[in-house]
Amino acid sequence: MTKTIIQLDDVSFSYDHSIVLEHISLQVGEGEFWALIGPNGSGKSTLLTIILGLLKPSSGSVKLFGENLESFKDRERIGFVSQKSNSFNSGFPATVFEVVRSGLTSKVGLLKRYSKKDEQKALESLRIVGMDSFATQSIGQLSGGQQQRVFIARALVGEPDLLIMDEPTVGIDQQNVASFYSMLNKLNREHGIAIVLVTHEIDLVTDLATHVACLNRTMHFHGVQSDYNKMDEVDISKWYGHPVRRVHQHAPEVQE
């Protein structure tokens, strides 16, 4: 049976008096690829921030790898890439290799030296995302799409079981978005890394995702719907303007 790596039970969250998330229950299993979709302001980033342990839910419980969020210490099991990662300017004084290796800082501590093994891990991560030939280049010289691959490599260097990403294709030009997603697909299928991805590119990502969850308060549909069948109650295409395909591990048939 698939192990649950993220478990949200009846999670609600408010900023001051403004309710953002209500009664969300969601289970992500190891090796699954979740696309988290929903209109702007529906709470997608807030939900990721809660899963990352940076915000405390107003009520409900969050478990990561079977442990309560409060006591969960195994942070390197989770890699995070945000939409703002790919914003180094051209003069930024770090090489691609140094940026990736810095993903190990929490393990080695700021003042300790990286071992040979750490350096090998950084190179291996770059190889996985197809950026090893850029290792000695300055990070600021790279395009948005290349920088984002480097940030994925940085997130991979601690050998996580789960990658969480908030709109990682923002700033990547359209022609490179498909190859970016195919790299994510490889990470998921070949390396077994679970992925939770916030995106607006639903037509692209739903071909890869094993599960799609939608957050939508505006249509009186509160919370994440992780039950595939019940998702049929929501015509997502109305808010995206085109048909949406949803893929599920156990129900591979596509629905328009």
Binding footprint of ligand ADP on the chain (CB under 6 A): 15, 20, 38, 40-46
**Tokens found for residue 195:** 């992925």
CB of 23 to ligand ADP, least distance (A): 16
Strands 59-64, 67-68: pairing is antiparallel
Task: Measure the CA–CA gap between 202 and 137, rounded to whole angstroms.
Answer: 33
Count Cβ atoms below 10 Å from residue 224 Cβ, excluding itself: 24
Nearer to ligand ADP, 52 or 123 (CB): 52
Q: DSSP for 145-186?
A: HHHHHHHHHHHHTT--SEEEEESTTTTS-HHHHHHHHHHHHH
Count Cβ atoms below 10 Å from residue 46 Cβ, excluding itself: 18
Q: Which amino acid makes up residue 252? A: P
CB of 45 to ligand ADP, least distance (A): 3
The single-letter DSSP state of residue 221 is B
CB of 54 to ligand ADP, least distance (A): 11
Nearer to ligand ADP, 210 or 216 (CB): 216
Walk across the sheet containing 4-15 and list its strands: 18-29, 4-15, 59-64, 67-68
Nearer to ligand ADP, 170 or 183 (CB): 170
Nearer to ligand ADP, 1 or 54 (CB): 54
CB of 224 to ligand ADP, least distance (A): 11
CB of 12 to ligand ADP, least distance (A): 13
Nearer to ligand ADP, 44 or 101 (CB): 44
